[in-house]
Amino acid sequence: MKPLFFPTLNRRRALWRMAAALAAVGGAWTQAGAAQRLRIGYQKSSALITVLKVRGTLERRLAPLGLQLSWHEFTSGLPLLEALNLGHVDFSADVADTVPIFAQAAGAQLTYVAQEAPSPTAQAIVVRQYSPLRSVADLKGKKVGFAKAAGAHYLLLAALEQAGLSFQDIQPAYLAPADGRAAFERGAIDAWVVWDPFLAAVLNQTPSRVLADGRGIASYQRYYLASTPYAQAHPEVLRALYQELKAAGQWVKQQPQAAAQLLASAWGLDAATVEQANGRRSYEVRPVLAPALGEQQRIADTFFAEKLLPKKINAREVALFPAGA
Domain spans of the chain? 9-119+221-320, 120-213
Write down the pLDDT at residue 325. Answer: 64
pLDDT tens-digit profile, the chain (325 residues)? 444 444 443 444 444 344 434 433 443 333 334 448 899 999 988 999 999 999 999 999 999 989 999 999 998 788 898 899 999 999 999 999 999 999 999 889 999 999 999 999 999 999 999 999 999 999 999 999 999 888 999 999 999 999 999 999 999 999 999 999 999 999 999 999 999 999 999 999 999 999 999 999 999 999 999 999 999 999 999 999 999 999 999 999 999 999 999 999 999 999 999 999 999 999 999 999 999 899 999 999 999 999 999 999 999 999 999 987 6
Residue 22: the pLDDT is: 40
**Rounded Cα gap, residues 209 and 98, in angstroms:** 25
DSSP string computed for 112-160? EEEEEPP-GGGEEEEEETT-S--SGGGGTT-EEEE-TTSHHHHHHHHHH
Burial group, residue 174, by CB count within 10 angstroms (0-12, 13-18, 19+): middle
CA dist 26 and 68 (Å) reads 13
Residues written for the chain: 325
What fold characterizes domain 120-213? D-Maltodextrin-Binding Protein; domain 2 (3.40.190)
Cα separation of 265 and 267, whole Å? Answer: 6
What's the pTM? 0.85
Crossing angle of helices 77-85 and 9-26, in 10° steps, is 60
Cα pseudo-dihedral 281, 212, 81, 307, rounded to 10: 150
In degrees, to the nearest 5, what angle opens at C-alpha 25 toward C-alphas 23 and 30?
55
Report the pLDDT value the prediction gives residue 314, as an integer from 0 to 100. 95
β-pair type (143-146, 319-320):
unpaired
Q: Are the folds of 9-119+221-320 and 120-213 the same?
A: yes
Cβ neighbour number for residue 141 with a 10 Å cutoff: 10
What is residue 2's predicted lDDT score, i.e. its pLDDT? 43
Write the DSSP symbol of residue 171.
E
Q: Which amino acid is at 40?
A: I
Q: What is the DSSP string of 248-274?
A: HHHHHHHSHHHHHHHHHHHHTS-HHHH
CA torsion sign, 288 to 264 to 271 to 45?
negative
pLDDT given for residue 121 in this prediction: 98
One-letter amino acid identity for 20?
A: A
Three-class SS of residue 204? helix
CATH of region 9-119+221-320: 3.40.190.10
CB contact at 8 A, 211 and 126: yes
CA distance 25 to 96: 26
Whether the bond between 197 and the residue before it is cis, its omega within 30 degrees of 0, is yes
Query: Which residues pair with residue 192 across a beta bridge?
Result: 126, 145
Q: How far apart are CA 260 and CA 255, in angstroms?
A: 9
